[in-house]
Amino acid sequence: MDFLPIFRDVSERTVIVAGGGTVAARRVEIALRAGAHVKLFAESIDEDDFAELRDDPRLEHFRRCPEPADFEDAALAFAACRKYEDDRKIADMARAAKVPVNVADRPELCDFIMPSIVDRSPIVVAVSSSGASPILARMIRARLETMLPAAFGKLAEFAGDIRDKVMARLKNPENRRRFWERILEGPLATLVFSGDEDTAKTLLERELTAAEAEEREGITGEVYLVGCGPGDPDLLTFKALRLMQKADVVLYDRLLGDGILNLVRREAERIYVGKRRGDHTVPQEEISDMLVRLAKEGKRVLRLKGGDPFIFGRGGEEIEKLAENRIPFQVVPGVTAASGCAAYAGIPLTHRDHAQSCLFITAHGKDGIVDVDWTQVLRPHQTVAVYMGLRLLPQFMKQLLEHGADAALPVAVVEKGTRADQRVVTGTIANIADKVVAAQVESPAMIIIGTVVTLRDKLAWYLPEEGAEEVTQGRFIGSL
C-alpha cells in the first residue's frame, strides 16, 4: 500500500485553497461539504466555477497569495495554481507550518492525494489508485455509484439513530453484529430505502426482541460447505461470495486459488486444514469434528473447497457428521475442475462429432493403486476427465494401452487450470507421460482423454505458436 487511507475531520477547521480555476473550485466545494471554513487565495476566480460557492458564509476570498501566517492552525492546504513555482511556494509554506498539503496534478509536491468519492453521507466511499491511474479509480467509483442505492445514506442515519438503543439491549458483541447484519440486509433496510420509517421501527422492535431471546437462550451456528471453483475467483457463485462475507470462521486448504481467501470477511478467523498427498496435515475426521465443534459454539463456519464440494471433495463425509449432530448446513456447488479446465483450455467435454458422454474419475485408488473399471473408461465416443491423476499418469496410460486403448488417442493435461499461470500440455496416450515430465507439470492438474482434445487447435484459434505465450481472454494460455 503506497498511501494510508484515512478520513480527516475538518469541520469548523480552516482549509486553505490556492487557485481560482475549476480544480480549486472543486476543492473549495468538497472542503465546505465536509464542514470546513475555507480561505481561498486567488487574484481572480472563474465566475462560472465559483458561481454556487461564492455566497457561502464559510468561504473567505483573499485576492493575494497566501503568506506563512495564513497557514497557522489550518487543517489542510490545497494548491491548484497555474504556475509550478506558485504551487511549489504554497507547498513549502504549508510544510513549514506542518499543514498537510495536496497539489493538483503534481504528485511530487503532495503530502496526501485526493481519492475519487462516492458520497452517500454519512457513508463515504473513497477510491484511489495511489496516483497510478486516476481514470481507473474514477471508473471504479462509477461502478460503485451504480451499486450503492442513493438511499444508503438514509439507512446509515437510521442505524446511527438506533445505535445506543441496540447497545443497551444487546450486550453480547457477537450477537449485536449478527443483529446488525440481519437488519441492514433484510426487509428492514428495504423499508428504510422506501422511506417507510414507521413500519421499519415496528420491525426493528420485533427483531430486537428476537435478538434478546437469542442472547438469553444461546444461538446455534451453522456450516456453509462452499465450492469455490478451480482457481479463478471470477468463477465463484454469488451465493458463495455472500456466505464468504458472512462467516465467523473459515476452514480452507491448499486447493484454493490465489485471491479467493481475500474475499472472505476480513474479521473471520482463518484455519488452515490443508492436505497434501501422503501428508495429511489435519485428518478428515478431525476436520469434520472441528466443523461440529465450531458450529456448536454458535459460529457461522465456512468450509471452503476447491471446485465442487460433492465431486471428489469429500463433502459428503463432512456433512454426514453435521447431520448426525443436527447442525444446520448449506452446500454451495462450485465449478468443478474438469469443466473449469476444459473451458479455459478450449476443450469441450462433449461434442456431437466426438463424445456423447463424459466420465469423471479419479486415478487415485486406495493405497495409491489405480483401481478403475477399464471397460468403462475405454468406451468409445466418450471423454474421460481424470482427477488426482498426475502422479499416476505413466501407470494410468500404460494400463490403458494394456486394456486395448488406441495409442494415438489424444490426451491433454491442464496444469493449474483457470489460474493466471495455467498451462496445457497435449499429446497422446503413448507420449503424454513423457511430455508431462519434460514440461515439469505440477499439481493440481487435470487429465482429459478423448478426441475432443483435438478441437482445441480449431477452437482456440488464438493459441500462440508452439512454446510461445500470449494473453488471451484476459489470461495466459501457454502451449507446450
- Which residues form the interface with ligand SAH (CB under 6 A)? 230-231, 255, 305-308, 311-313, 336-337, 341, 387-388, 414, 416-419, 443-446
Position of cell 446509515? 156
* Closest CB to ligand SAH: residue number: 307
Rounded to an integer, what distance in angstroms lies between the CA atom of residue 177 and that of residue 32?
Answer: 34
At what angle are helices 173-185 and 152-169 packed, to 10 degrees? 150
Comparison of 38 and 390: residue with beta carbon closer to ligand SAH: 390
Comparison of 17 and 460: residue with beta carbon closer to ligand SAH: 460
Q: Which of 111, 253, 289, 406 is catalytic?
A: 253
* Shortest distance (Å) from residue 307 CB to ligand SAH: 2
Comparison of 162 and 282: residue with beta carbon closer to ligand SAH: 282
Active site includes 253?
Answer: yes
The 3-state DSSP class for residue 268 equals: coil
Among candidates 417, 415, 418, 385, which has minimal Cα distance to 480?
A: 415
* First vs last C-alpha separation in the chain: 37
The answer to whether 42 and 66 have CB atoms below 8 angstroms apart is: no
Among candidates 316, 343, 349, 347, which has minimal Cα distance to 331?
A: 316
* Shortest distance (Å) from residue 391 CB to ligand SAH: 9
DSSP 169-195: H---HHHHHHHHHHHHHSHHHHHHHTT
Active site includes 275?
Answer: yes
The answer to whether 349 and 424 have CB atoms below 8 angstroms apart is: no
Comparison of 304 and 388: residue with beta carbon closer to ligand SAH: 388
Comparison of 336 and 426: residue with beta carbon closer to ligand SAH: 336
Rounded to an integer, what distance in angstroms lies between the CA atom of residue 313 and that of residue 332?
Answer: 12
* Shortest distance (Å) from residue 360 CB to ligand SAH: 9
Q: Which of 275, 296, 398, 435 is catalytic?
A: 275
**Amino acid occupying residue 54:** R
DSSP 227-246: E-BSS-GGG--HHHHHHHTT
Rounded to an integer, what distance in angstroms lies between the CA atom of residue 343 and that of residue 463?
Answer: 14
CA dihedral sign, ordered 239, 240, 243, 244: negative
* Shortest distance (Å) from residue 430 CB to ligand SAH: 22
Beta strand 123-127 with 469-472 is unpaired
Comparison of 221 and 417: residue with beta carbon closer to ligand SAH: 417
DSSP 303-335: EEESB-TTSSS-HHHHHHHHHHTT--EEEE---
* Shortest distance (Å) from residue 288 CB to ligand SAH: 16
The answer to whether 304 and 274 have CB atoms below 8 angstroms apart is: no
**Active site amino acids:** 253, 275
